[in-house]
Amino acid sequence: MLCNKQSDLCGHVALVGAGPGDPELITRKGWSFILQADVLIYDALVSDELLEEIPSGIERIYVGKLKGRHSMSQEQICRLLVNQARQGKKVVRLKGGDPLIFGRVSEEMQALDQANIPYTLVPGITAAAGCAASCNFSLTERKVATSVRFITAHLSDDTETPWADLARPNETLVFYMGLSKASVISLELQRHGLPADWPVLLVEKGTQKDQRSIRTNLANLELSINQYKLESPTLIFVGQVVGSQQIDAIMRAA
């Protein structure tokens, strides 16, 4: 059966951002799609707290991909979305954070377009914004950080990370999926001009009840990760915005 976007017989896919973990941080639009769903296809980074609030009558299919443990390949996930929609189902593809940021949503949109299946893209609060809010700092700040960059530490090809361009004193860097690349991040940013004592903040399981936030610096980045046995998901914030006394007080209180 081929779907026609004008046909009532065709299902629909909502590509929804779940937010950074706190169930209250999912958007109203995203939650509305979930409540109307026949089937929920969800990632590893969707928090247990949010999953507990989703009605039990909605079918659930886990397609999480953790380092070295992929329940499905991206191609299989794309086929699953198409097959479920072709059965006339209302499908929610639930992704942690914002699917527009390192969520591989373009591949899923392309598969749905090719199958002529209607879909809606619903952005979410990305982990960087959620973690910054939970730790009480701004990602940008006048005269301190005039821009912010989100960087994936895992590239899908031989593309070189532009370390010289990233080592700017007036910018905030946020590394996603960066734990295994911590030594490279530390070495390259220092090699290209940032000082060894440049501020770094590590946030594990941001916005969730078991969040941990660790203050460190570039020189001690890998040491801090090993010392506190941090696990994924952990964001690495680099820049002067995480060097404030306000954050110091939060770290002591934690």
pLDDT band for 6, please (50, 70, 90 cuts): very low
Cβ atoms within 10 Å, residue 177? 17
Q: What is the 3-state secondary structure (H, E, C) of 140-173?
A: CECCCECEEEEEECCCCCCCCCCHHHHCCCCEEE
pLDDT digits (tens, 9 = 90+) for 122-170: 999 999 999 999 999 999 999 999 999 999 976 555 678 999 999 999 9
Residue 76 lies in a domain: yes
Residues 186 and 244 in one domain: yes
Domains in the chain: how many in total?
Answer: 2
pLDDT band for 99, please (50, 70, 90 cuts): very high
Residues 137 and 229 in one domain: yes
- For the chain, the helix, strand and coil percentages under 3-state DSSP, each to the nearest 5: 35, 25, 45
For 198-216, what is the mean pLDDT?
97
Residue 25 lies in a domain: yes
pLDDT in the model for residue 111:
98
**Active-site residue, from 43, 98, 181, 205:** 43
Active site residue 210: no
pLDDT in the model for residue 160:
83
pLDDT in the model for residue 252:
52
Domain limits at 203? 127-253
Residue 7 lies in a domain: no
What is the pTM for the complete model shown?
0.91
Residue 5 lies in a domain: no
CA 118 to chain centre: 24
Residues with Cβ within 8 Å of residue 246, at least 6 apart in sequence: 136, 137
SS3 122: strand
Residue 213 lies in a domain: yes
From residue 23, alpha-carbon distances to 12, 30, 32, 110 in Å are 24, 11, 13, 29
Residues 87 and 162 in one domain: no
Residue 174 lies in a domain: yes
The answer on pLDDT for 254 being more than 60 is: no
Residue 109 lies in a domain: yes
The answer on pLDDT for 1 being more than 50 is: no
pLDDT band for 66, please (50, 70, 90 cuts): confident
User: For residue 189, what is the domain's CATH number?
Assistant: 3.30.950.10
Domain boundary among 102, 122, 142: 122
**Active-site residue, from 29, 65, 89, 90:** 65
Active site residue 143: no
**How many residues make up the chain in this entry?**
254
pLDDT in the model for residue 19:
97
Which candidate, 13, 17, 21, 53, places its Cα nearest to that of 37? Answer: 13
